Amino acid sequence: MSIFVDENTKVIYQGLTGSQGSYYGGLNKAYGTQVVAGTHPKKAGTDVDGVPICASVAEAIDATGATATCIFIPAPGVQGAVLEAAEAGIEFIVAITEGVPAHDEAYFFNKLRADFPNTRLLGPNCPGIISPGKCNIGITAGHIAKAGGPVGIVSRSGTLTYQALYELKQKDIGVTTCVGIGGDPVPGTSFIDCLEAFEADPDTKAVMMIGEIGGSAEEEAAEFIKHHMTKPVSSYIAGVTAPPGKKMGHAGAIVSGGKGTAAAKMEALEDAGVKVGQNPTEAGELMAEIVAGL
């Protein structure tokens, strides 16, 4: 099994007609993802490499029965795209776009929570989600992941997510689902959401969690692991040596007022029984040890 998406997930792409959308939409389709439609208000009736374009998300759902969407709309239009998808009844929204204002993210996160509690949002500013061998939504290179299990991955960083998948593949370890939650201040899906889903997924036997400096999401995840996870977890936190007050690439990756340091996060995770590596390679090795002992 896998979490959130599998081989039955039908996905539409908001922004499929754009350069990013058509490129990654095409790659996702080639991977085997059910890419069933794209949307564009003025290009309905056309197609992108055989994928039909509908005028709206609602029309695309009517035509295809899609339950998921992947958003490649430029930042100013993301709030509108997320709300359109939720109102049309989409259950799983993946927003890849980076550069979305934090106030927009806070707005649609709360709007979804209040009015569309059954809709899950992943991102924005995330690489997407892959259940290897079944479904790949977003910008992850599918072939760097080995299908099967027993490991689930959840990560705040794109390239480190790939690094984690690759480390495991080198060791011939399979992955049930790999979720990139993104590095923005208000991610739609949190570490805890993913940990909870992995804990409930019978095929996931262990979880690898990649965090970074800033905020307190890793500390909250550690608290959750301590009290609710029976499955072993390995982890790596990027930004051990990041200077305070400087944003390290991601809007959310900043140590401010002495809060959000890597050291505090690693300590909280170790205290929760998580095996914490000093670098991605070590975290992969720790996961290999865990898998060998399962």
Partner 1 sequence: MDLFEYQGKQFFAQYGMPVSPGQVAFSVDEAVAVAEGLGTPVMVKAQVHTGGRGKAGGVKFAADIDAVREHATNILGLDINGHIVKRVWIEKASDIAEEYYASFTLDRSAKKHLGMLSKEGGVEIETVAEENPDAIAKIWVDPVGGLSEEATREWVAAANLPDAAVEGSVDILQKLYTAYTEGDCDLVEINPLILTPEGKVHVLDAKVTLDSNSTFRHENYEQYDESQPRDEREEAAHAKGLQYVGLDGSVGVIANGAGLAMSTVDVVNQVGGSPANFLDIGGGANADVMAGALEVINNDPAVKSIFINIFGGITRGEEVANGILEAMQRVTIDAPIVIRLDGTNADEGRAILAPNLNDKLMMEDTMLSAAEKAVELAS
Residues that are catalytic: 250
Number of other residues whose CB lies within 10 A of the CB of residue 200: 10
Count residues contacting partner 1 (CB under 8 A)? 62
What does 72-106 look like in DSSP terms, one character per residue? ---GGGHHHHHHHHHHHT-SEEEE------HHHHH
Rg (CA), the chain: 18
Q: Select the span of 7-15, 29-37, 40-48, 232-240 touching partner 1 (CB under 8 A).
A: 232-240
Q: Is 263 in the site for partner 1 (CB under 8 A)?
A: no
Residue type, 159: T
What's the closest the beta carbon of residue 283 comes to partner 1, in angstroms? Answer: 10
Would you say 230 or 241 has its CB closer to partner 1? Answer: 241
Name the DSSP letter for residue 213: S
Q: Is 246 in the site for partner 1 (CB under 8 A)?
A: yes
Q: Which of residues 78-107 bind partner 1 (CB under 8 A)?
A: 99-103, 106-107
192 close to 238: Cβ distance less than 8 angstroms: no
> What order of strands is seen across the sheet that includes strand 68-71?
47-48, 51-54, 34-39, 10-14, 68-71, 92-95, 120-122
Q: Which of 21, 25, 128, 239 binds partner 1 (CB under 8 A)?
A: 239
Q: Which residue reads 């992955």 in tokens?
A: 175
**Site track 200-229 with partner 1 (rule: CB under 8 A), x = hit:** ----------x-xx-xxx--x---------
| Strands 206-212 and 233-238, bridge-based pairing | parallel
Q: Which of 156, 231, 265, 275 binds partner 1 (CB under 8 A)?
A: 156
The helix or strand, by DSSP H or E, that contains position 238, with its residue range, turns out to be strand 233-238
Q: Is 140 in the site for partner 1 (CB under 8 A)?
A: yes
Residues 6+ apart with CB under 8 A from 45: 53
Q: Is 240 in the site for partner 1 (CB under 8 A)?
A: yes
What does 96-140 look like in DSSP terms, one character per residue? ------HHHHHHHHHHHHHH-TT-EEE-SS--EEEETTTEEEES-
Q: Which of residues 29-48 bind partner 1 (CB under 8 A)?
A: none
**Site track 55-74 with partner 1 (rule: CB under 8 A), x = hit:** --------------------
Would you say 61 or 153 has its CB closer to partner 1? Answer: 153
Q: Which of 9, 28, 131, 163 binds partner 1 (CB under 8 A)?
A: 163
Q: In angstroms, rounded to a whole number, what is the distance separating the alpha carbons of residues 147 and 55?
A: 35
Q: Select the span of 30-38, 52-60, 134-142, 197-205 touching partner 1 (CB under 8 A).
A: 134-142
Q: Is 75 in the site for partner 1 (CB under 8 A)?
A: yes
**Contact residues for partner 1 (CB under 8 A)?**
24, 27, 75-76, 99-103, 106-107, 109-111, 114, 127, 139-141, 143-144, 155-163, 166, 183, 185-186, 210, 212-213, 215-217, 220, 236, 238-243, 246-253, 257, 262, 278-281
